[in-house]
Structure formats: structure tokens, C-alpha cells
Amino acid sequence: MQIPFLDLKAQYRTIQDEIDRKIGEVVVSQRFILGEEVEQLENELAAYSGAKHGVGVSSGSDALIISLMAVGVGEGDYVVTTPFTFFATAGAVARLRAVPLFCDIEPDGFNLDPKKLEELLARKITGRNNSRIKAIIPVHLYGQLCDMDAINAQAERFDLFVLEDAAQAVGSEYPGAQGVRRACTLGNAGTLSFFPSKNLGGFGDGGMVLTDDTELAEKLRILRVHGSQSKYMYQTLGGNFRLDALQAAILRVKLKHLDDWHRGRQRIADGYRQRFEDNGLLATGAVQPPIEMYRERGVAHYHTYHQYVLRVRDRDKLQLHLRDNGVPTAVYYPLGLHLQECFSYLGYKLGDFPETEKACGEVLALPVFPELTEAQQDQIAEAVKAFYSS
């Protein structure tokens, strides 16, 4: 039987009445841009995450761009980030004519390595260009937070702005020096994406910036409407970064279910691990399940499994085998950003980020969504087992 990689129709069926009613209300109001629904969503998501302010914007990519604009990142500035992320993270930096300065990931997990960050900053900051490193963008990949205490310690030493890319980690938690805190409240600001396939996905594009910094939030609100503080008066150059009322209305309905969905994803992840343990694949090392860094530390959202990503032996052959057996998979990501053609001008080469390059060859994402059935998980685990037994 063919299994879907993600079944958004199944999710919609569970909340259809509520969603359709909300859409109807917005349509009747004929108020489609920003407005009441967007403000409510901003307040609710800020409260959910534990941040003071939320600023709804047009996408997760735009949330990154507008945040960097607000802190004055521009031509010739450097922004440190990981090469093992979705393109938009570094794309946002480059769009502003700033320079992405890549730093490799941890050997076990998939997030920015604080030790390598320390080395990179020590090397760069003693150089001539030190003042041009403005910010760090840690990316909470697949739904598990970076080691933010260690990253913040480096940022403080060198006075860098910390912008969390939490597009894959809405609601994920980190047990650190400030207690258990959620994504987007650990640095200076954080960004979310409401792309339909994200854990909190709209019916189109959307995003948000969360921050405790009142002045920054104010700047973001101005930049979101072309830099206009009062109607048809422009003090700064912004853009159209607005969020739609329809998206906000839909997302407000979905937000009420988000914690249930997170639990559902965690249950699926546990189900995979159990099956791979039972069928002996963990013992052989053919399959390495995701490492849960914060699970044993009393954290409910230790991982929100935006993606369930294995490291596997013979990845490409396994992927074909699974495809032929009705199991769709995905590779996030097949090529480090340092090796992307559009970034060739940055001068990186193969070998620069060994952990990223290794991960690119090993990672395989299995279907993970709350509506995935036990029978489907059985089929997936059996198909993986069959590949390594033949």
C-alpha cells in the first residue's frame, strides 16, 4: 500500500468544521490584510512561546530577512550560520548583501556546534574584520533546539545578535540556564514559518517574528508596511511583509491543537525506535535513530519532530527500495549550503564542513505526522528491515 509522506487532508478532516467556519467569518468581514485576526494570532503565539511580542509576516523567509533588516545587517556584514539547513537561512543573509559565514554542525546531532562556533569566532574576531560580524542564526533543525546556552555564551562574548531560525521548531523546548524555555525566546528574536507542511502550517505562506525586545518589535511593524510609521510617510526603507487575515484565522484554530499534534509526532518517533530495536536494525548500526538531547531532563517538547530523520547505511539505495515498496522518504538536505552554486562566490570547497557533508550523505526522513497508523509504521519498518536483510 502506498503511504503518504505527509497527509494534510487527514489533518484537515479532523478540524474541518472549525476551519471552514473561521474562513467564512473572514470572508464575510472582507478584511484580508493584517487586522484583528493577525493581532490575535500574534498575541496567542507569543503567549504560547513565552515571548513578549509577535509580528506576523509573509513567510518564514521574510521573517528572517525583516529581522536582519531591523538590526541593520547590510552590505559587507557577516552573519554566522549553519550550512546544514534549508536554503532560506543563508539566503536571507545574502539577499541583504551580507555574507553568510558558515560553521559546521555537531557530530551526533544536526545543529550548529558551539565548540566550532567558538573556534570560528576566535579566528575571525582577532582578524581585521571583527566588527563586521553582526549576528548568529542558530537553526533548530527538524524540531530539536540548539544548545542555546553555549551559543549565547559565544554571542555575548562578541556582542552578536542571536536570531533563532525556528521554522521547524515552533513550541520546542530547551532546558537551560533560564529554566525550560521555548523556541524563539532563547536569543534576541526568533522566526517561525507557517508553510503548509510545517508543524503549524497555514493554507499558504506565512511567518512570524517573536521577541521580548519592544523596540525591535516596533521596528519590525514599521518595516512590514514599507517602513511607514504614519500613513504615506516613510522614514526607513521596508517592504510588503504582511500576513493575511485568512492565514491568521486558520492558524489560530490550528494552534489549539498543536500540543496534541506534537505529542502525536513524538509517539510516531517512539514507534519507529521501538520497531527498529525489535527488528534488530539498531544493534547492527544500519539505522541510527535521532538523538533526543533533552528528553531525560523533564522537558515535554524535547523534540517536536517536524522531521523524523535517521542516519542510515547505503542511503540512496535504501531510498529507492522504500520508494518501490510504497514508502516515500525525503533527504533534508542533500547538499550543504557552502557547496551550492549560488554561493560559489563565497569560496568554500568540499571538505570545509566534514560533519555537514557526512550528514548530507546519511540522512533520510521517514513519514512523521500524527495520523500515521500503526499498520503504516509496521509496513515502513518492515520495508527498511527487508532492505538490510537482502
Ligand X SMILES: *Cc1c(COP(=O)(O)O)cnc(C)c1O
Least separation, in Å, of the C-beta of 251 and ligand X? 12
> Measuring CA to CA, how many Å separate 138 from each of 24, 81, 151, 188, 309?
39, 6, 8, 11, 19
Residues 34-63 interacting with ligand X (rule: CB under 6 A): 59-61
Tell whether residue 266 is a contact of ligand X (CB under 6 A).
no
Contact criterion met (CB below 8 Å) for 169 and 304: yes
User: Cα(41)–Cα(18) distance, rounded to whole angstroms?
Assistant: 16
Least separation, in Å, of the C-beta of 181 and ligand X? 19
Least separation, in Å, of the C-beta of 245 and ligand X? 18
Of the ranges 84-92, 255-263, 271-279, 286-294, which one interacts with ligand X (CB under 6 A)? 84-92
Q: Which is nearer to ligand X, 139 or 160 (CB)?
A: 139
Of the ranges 20-28, 31-39, 85-93, 256-264, which one interacts with ligand X (CB under 6 A)? 85-93
Q: Which is nearer to ligand X, 110 or 302 (CB)?
A: 110
Q: Which is nearer to ligand X, 271 or 290 (CB)?
A: 290
Phi-psi region of 50 (alpha: psi -120 to 50; beta: other; left: phi over 0): left
Q: Which is nearer to ligand X, 110 or 387 (CB)?
A: 110
Residues 163-222 interacting with ligand X (rule: CB under 6 A): 165, 167-168, 193, 195, 205, 207
Least separation, in Å, of the C-beta of 141 and ligand X? 7
Q: Which amino acid is at 332?
A: Y
* Residue 125: count of CB within 10 angstroms of its CB: 15
Tell whether residue 248 is a contact of ligand X (CB under 6 A).
no
User: Cα(357)–Cα(350) distance, rounded to whole angstroms?
Assistant: 8
> How far from each other are the two terminal CA atoms of the chain, in whole angstroms?
21
Least separation, in Å, of the C-beta of 249 and ligand X? 18
Least separation, in Å, of the C-beta of 332 and ligand X? 8
Least separation, in Å, of the C-beta of 317 and ligand X? 27
Give the gyration radius of the chain's Cα atoms: 21
The DSSP-derived string for 121-154 is HHHHHTSTTGGGEEEEE-B-GGG----HHHHHHH
Q: Which residue is nearest to ligand X (CB)?
A: 60
E strand map for the chain: 53-57, 78-81, 99-102, 133-137, 161-165, 173-176, 179-182, 189-193, 207-211, 228-230, 233-234, 287-288, 308-312, 363-366
| SS3 state of residue 310 | strand
With CB under 6 A, what is the number of residues at the site for ligand X?
15
Of the ranges 23-31, 71-79, 83-91, 102-110, which one interacts with ligand X (CB under 6 A)? 83-91
Q: Which is nearer to ligand X, 293 or 383 (CB)?
A: 293
CA-nearest of 314, 326, 266 to 290 is 266
Applying CB under 6 A, among 86, 161, 241, 302 the residue interacting with ligand X is 86
Applying CB under 6 A, among 11, 49, 85, 211 the residue interacting with ligand X is 85
User: Cα(304)–Cα(267) distance, rounded to whole angstroms?
Assistant: 10
Q: Which amino acid is at 317?
A: K
Q: Which is nearer to ligand X, 194 or 272 (CB)?
A: 194
Q: Which is nearer to ligand X, 89 or 211 (CB)?
A: 89
Build a one-symbol-per-residue string for 132-161: x at contacts with ligand X by CB under 6 A, - elsewhere: -------x----------------------
**DSSP label at residue 197:** T
- Cα 156 to chain centroid, rounded: 23
Enumerate binding residues for ligand X (CB under 6 A): 59-61, 85-86, 88-89, 139, 165, 167-168, 193, 195, 205, 207
